[in-house]
Amino acid sequence: MIIFNTFTCNLETPKLSIAEQISQENDLSLDELLTTIKSFENNKSPADDGFTKEFYETFFDLVGRHLLNS
């Protein structure tokens, strides 16, 4: 515990500005969700459900709204 406290006592953690905080208050849009999914590596599963990035891209019209609401 002493080592952890020594390490963290002078640690400066970044903080969001008020403008950044306000911008993060908005709901995620379908376009932002799709952009995020497209940024993932191919043949990788972005969640523990085992579905790949390609699955989400292919069936985004069917699952996008459900994914967004989850």
Q: What is the pLDDT of residue 69?
A: 93
pLDDT tops 90 at residue 56 = yes
Question: Binning pLDDT at 50, 70 and 90, where does residue 13 land?
Answer: confident
Question: Binning pLDDT at 50, 70 and 90, where does residue 8 land?
Answer: confident
Q: What is the pLDDT of residue 65?
A: 96
Instruction: Look at residue 31 and give its three-state secondary structure.
Output: helix
Question: Binning pLDDT at 50, 70 and 90, where does residue 61 land?
Answer: very high
Domain boundaries defined on the chain: 27-70
* Closest to 64 measured CA to CA, from 42, 34, 36, 44: 34
Q: What percent of the chain has pLDDT over 90?
A: 56
What distance lies between CA 53 and its chain's CA centroid?
14
